[in-house]
Every structure is written in structure tokens, then in C-alpha cells.
């Protein structure tokens, strides 16, 4: 990919049966030469990430990193069959006047804004864990990174693409095996019916049966380890607007 993407003006994205959005086509096929396994966060997911990251501000995380790490898009049309067209905007994710999708800036996968965000939330999460848990030995960044990397490698070996939302939450919610965090402020809820968000009005009515299978997506309950912190509180019917509320769940 090129070092900048001035021609990245619109995207066509598709909703998978895993309720994640995946990029199908871009306006800039030269600089964004492949969209295989390219994921994008929907408005509810990016709002969840922002809320989850708030608890790490006291541990050195700068909220502005989140805004810098993504290209922002809004919905312009429903193309049917679980597909929508998005148009790029310059709005801030931290002060959204409308629901926005967020595409990770992975132009430079190792040193770009999204890579920097991943690094910074990792550092801040480790600081928080050492602050709230009495470890026998201080927990390290290397230990967290090694476990996350091992899990992602297993996904890749199985031919599965790791969604950016799963990548972020795997760090933001990480608790070492054998420990738990019992703090009210750790619990953040994605409320799909929250008044005043405008999400229900903005999102098209997409039925799961209209979605075509893509080999980059994870179907059903298979391979959902990245989101194993979330549990359905009530059964849904499959519509995106009616997706059940999900709550964070501490690992054992």
C-alpha cells in the first residue's frame, strides 16, 4: 500500500453472519490493492472501543490516538444483500454527530497510527493490570503480546481473518488466566436500542439470509474465541438492529 490514501473516498462493505463488517471493494484499488480479510468497525463497535479505552486514560493512553488510527466513513446507500456503500468523512470519532464506521489505518502495518494505537493500549492495559491485581511477579507487556500473538496465529493457521474489533478488545479486556477483575467500571454495555443514538434509523435492515458466504469470514459459533468475553443476554432474530446486548465478561 502507498504511504497515503487520498483516493480512498468510498468503500463497499458486507455484513458477515458473525455480525462483523468486512470490506468488499474500495475506490482506490491501487493503493489498497487487496481487501481480503480487511475489516472495519461499525459505529457501535467504535463507541465500545472508545468507552473501554477511557479506563486506560489514567494509565497514559491518549484518547486522540483512537481518532488518528482510523479513516472515518458514513453510510450513503444500502446496496442490498447485506451490503452498504460508505463515503469517507473528516469527522472526529470522539465527537460524532452521526454514526461513523472506522477503517484501521494499516497503510504502514508496523509504524502507522493503528499500529501505534495497538502498542499504546497494550502498554496502558499492562499498567492497569499491575495496579489492580497483586501478581507474584510483575506482569509484563511481553507476556500479554505473546498470548495475543499466539491466539492470532492459531486463527491464521485455521484460515480465519482476525477482525480489528476482536484485536482491540482482546487487549482492552485482557486478564491473565487464573485472575479476575471485579470492578463496576470494567463493565461497559453496548445498548443497541439506546435513545438518541440514531443508529437504528441510520442502519439498513439487513437480513442474515441475504448474506453470501466469504472464505475470510468466520461463520456461526466456530472460531469466535476473539469475542468470547461477550455473551448474549437474550435471543435475537438475526437482524442487525435487533442484535442482543453484549456484556464484557472477565476471563477465569
Tens-digit pLDDT profile for residues 64-77: 999 999 999 999 99
Closest CA to 93 of 117, 56, 59, 65: 65
| Cell, residue 62 | 491518549
pLDDT at 181: 81
Range with top average pLDDT, 69-73, 92-96, 108-112: 69-73
pLDDT at 31: 72
pLDDT at 209: 42
pLDDT at 124: 97
Q: What is the per-residue pLDDT across 194-233, written as a single tens digit (0 to 9) for each?
A: 433 344 445 555 544 444 545 444 434 444 444 344 344 4
pLDDT at 197: 36
Mean pLDDT of 29-54: 90
pLDDT band for 41, please (50, 70, 90 cuts).
Answer: very high
What is the percentage of the chain residues whose pLDDT exceeds 70? 69
Beta strand 83-89 with 231-232 is unpaired
Name the CA dihedral angle for 13, 104, 230, 123, rounded to a multiple of 10 degrees.
180
What is the percentage of the chain residues whose pLDDT exceeds 90? 50
In the predicted model, is pLDDT for residue 62 greater than 70? yes
pLDDT at 35: 81
Q: What is the per-residue pLDDT across 144-193, written as a single tens digit (0 to 9) for each?
A: 999 998 888 887 777 678 899 999 999 999 999 888 886 554 443 333 34
Closest CA to 220 of 22, 83, 211: 211
pLDDT at 140: 95
pLDDT at 232: 46
Mean per-residue pLDDT of the chain:
77
Q: Which residue has the higher pLDDT, 35 or 80?
A: 80
Round to whole Å and give the CA distance between 95 and 72: 12
pLDDT band for 131, please (50, 70, 90 cuts).
Answer: very high
pTM of structure: 0.70
- Angle between helix axes 113-132 and 141-157 (nearest 10 degrees) is 120
Name the CA dihedral angle for 165, 190, 252, 59, rounded to a multiple of 10 degrees.
70
Amino acid at each position: 500500500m502507498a504511504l497515503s490514501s487520498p483516493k480512498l473516498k468510498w468503500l463497499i462493505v458486507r455484513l458477515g453472519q458473525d455480525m462483523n463488517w468486512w470490506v468488499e471493494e474500495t475506490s482506490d484499488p491501487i493503493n489498497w490493492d487487496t481487501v481480503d480479510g480487511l475489516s472495519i468497525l461499525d459505529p457501535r463497535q467504535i463507541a465500545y472501543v472508545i468507552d473501554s479505552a477511557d479506563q486506560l486514560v489514567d494509565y497514559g493512553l491518549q484518547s486522540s490516538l483512537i481518532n488518528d488510527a482510523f479513516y472515518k466513513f458514513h453510510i450513503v446507500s444500502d446496496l442490498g444483500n447485506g451490503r452498504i456503500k460508505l463515503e469517507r468523512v473528516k469527522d472526529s470519532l470522539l465527537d460524532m454527530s452521526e454514526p461513523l464506521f472506522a477503517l484501521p489505518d494499516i497503510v504502514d502495518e508496523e509504524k502507522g497510527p493503528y499500529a501505534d494505537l495497538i502498542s499504546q493500549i497494550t502498554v496502558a492495559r499492562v499498567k492497569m493490570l499491575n495496579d489492580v491485581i497483586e501478581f507474584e511477579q510483575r506482569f509484563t507487556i511481553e507476556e500479554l503480546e505473546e498470548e495475543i500473538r499466539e491466539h492470532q496465529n492459531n486463527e491464521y493457521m485455521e484460515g480465519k481473518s482476525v477482525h480489528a474489533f476482536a484485536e482491540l478488545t482482546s487487549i482492552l479486556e485482557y486478564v491473565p488466566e487464573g485472575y479476575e477483575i471485579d470492578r463496576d467500571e470494567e463493565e461497559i454495555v453496548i445498548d443497541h436500542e439506546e435513545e438518541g443514538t440514531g443508529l437504528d434509523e441510520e442502519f439498513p435492515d439487513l437480513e442474515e439470509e441475504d448474506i453470501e458466504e466469504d472464505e475470510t469470514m468466520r461463520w456461526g459459533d466456530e472460531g469466535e474465541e476473539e469475542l468470547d468475553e461477550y455473551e448474549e443476554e437474550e435471543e435475537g432474530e438475526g437482524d442487525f438492529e435487533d442484535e442482543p446486548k453484549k456484556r464484557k465478561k472477565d476471563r477465569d
